[in-house]
């Protein structure tokens, strides 16, 4: 599995790790000294998320967090839990009207 964002193509960058020793001057020391410089990798923060692609099909991809935050990715659309179908909403509205009419007749 490659360390690459499938949206922006971000890959690991090469950098240096600088190791120091000593006490800083502002803390009363004689200053910090560099004791070693070794190579390192800056890896992108990749997350596996389910997205909706151009065809509307959900699929799982590895995307960097910057793409998720900036909105370059459309997350998978889930069905709303406990949502009533359209015809049930009409029946519910009719029942409420009937109940209101009954209440009006009593008084």
Query: What are the sequence ranges of the domains in the chain?
Result: 13-106
Confidence of residue 80 (pLDDT cuts 50, 70, 90): low
Interatomic CA distance for residues 67 and 44, integer angstroms: 11
The two structure tokens encoding residue 9: 């193509």
User: Checking phi first, is residue 22 left (phi over 0); if not, alpha (psi -120 to 50) or beta?
Assistant: left
pLDDT in tens, 4-37: 999 999 999 999 999 999 999 999 999 999 999 9
Backbone angles phi, psi at 60, to 5 degrees: -100, 130
């Amino acid at each position: 599995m490659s360390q690459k964002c499938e949206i922006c193509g971000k890959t690991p960058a090469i950098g240096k790790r600088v190791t120091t020793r000593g006490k800083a001057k502002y803390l009363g020391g004689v200053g910090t000294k560099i004791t070693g410089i070794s190579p390192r990798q800056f890896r992108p923060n990749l997350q596996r998320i389910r997205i909706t692609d151009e065809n509307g099909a959900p699929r799982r991809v590895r995307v960097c967090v910057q793409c998720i935050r900036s909105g370059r990715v459309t997350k998978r659309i889930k069905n709303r839990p406990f949502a009533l179908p359209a015809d049930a909403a009409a029946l519910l509205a009719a029942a409420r009207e009937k109940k209101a009419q009954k209440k009006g007749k009593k008084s």
